[in-house]
Structure 1
Amino acid sequence: MVLDRQSTKASKSLMCPSADAEMSGSVIFGIVVGTPEEPHVVHLDRVKPIPPELLALDAPVKPAEMFRIAATCIENGCAHFDGAKCRLTARIVDGLPTVTDRLPACAIRATCRWWYQEGAAACLRCQQVVRDNYVASEELIDAIDPSVYED
């Protein structure tokens, strides 16, 4: 399995599965369902482009509250990247419980930075991650806080 993930990195750009809708080349790969207190992601069978009309809406709800969005990982342009790996996915694996006992179908797995770096451990936690979640659990808040990297 590790060899497959390593060969993927060599042949394709890795995608961040926690991207913002405004990032270049962003796509939707999941829909957020459930309640505000307990959201979870249902993966799509293939990625969908983000309709420009969605970005143009002046609604109180942001696209990342409704969808899981992926875009090419910006690596050193992100507070979670340490120059070699994504510290966010490592913190998610270390700090969040699994929410499923089998890999969910995922349209971006072959190019997903989290999969490449952490394998199944990231996938088993992925469905609980919602980028813009205003009532997130303490565990999720702790995992996503980039201030822990500051010296």
Structure 2
Amino acid sequence: MKALLIDYRQVRHINLKEEDGRVSLKDLQNRVGGYVEPFDPLFENVILYINEDGIGSCDPNRLIIANRHMAEEGYASPKDPCRPVTPGEPYTILHGNIIAVGHDPQTGEARSLTDGEEREVRDYFHRVSRPGSGVMAVLAIRAGR
């Protein structure tokens, strides 16, 4: 299954193993280093899989900045949960490796990323949520900024 791995330095193409036509849970777990948790607010038909205990067991990877899709879907602002996020607002920090796969909303199953989805994910993690952004955000929080 065509997917992207977003690590601390780069975004690169990977092929996830499949079992019975579905993405292999074991392969996902190996690539994120533990139990997987879906993170889906950023893109319409793309799911990011992260380490469920990443905040406790992995280094910070990327600062997630809210985008238009998140605002339109009504995701709550971390600064004021009574209002939706504003595009450009810091939302959360993802820790450890991140795997991006396509999502079929009709079946609920993971699928290969389309070329357009791959471009969208790469663009977001190159321009908006850049390498090092997670570490920089943690340092800023610790410094009280």
Report the TM-score, using the length of structure 2 for normalisation: 0.26
Report the TM-score, using the length of structure 1 for normalisation: 0.26
Q: Which of structures 1 and 2 has the larger relative contact order (alpha carbons within 8 angstroms, sep 6+)?
A: 1
Q: Which structure has greater strand proportion? A: 2
Q: Which structure has greater helix proportion? A: 1
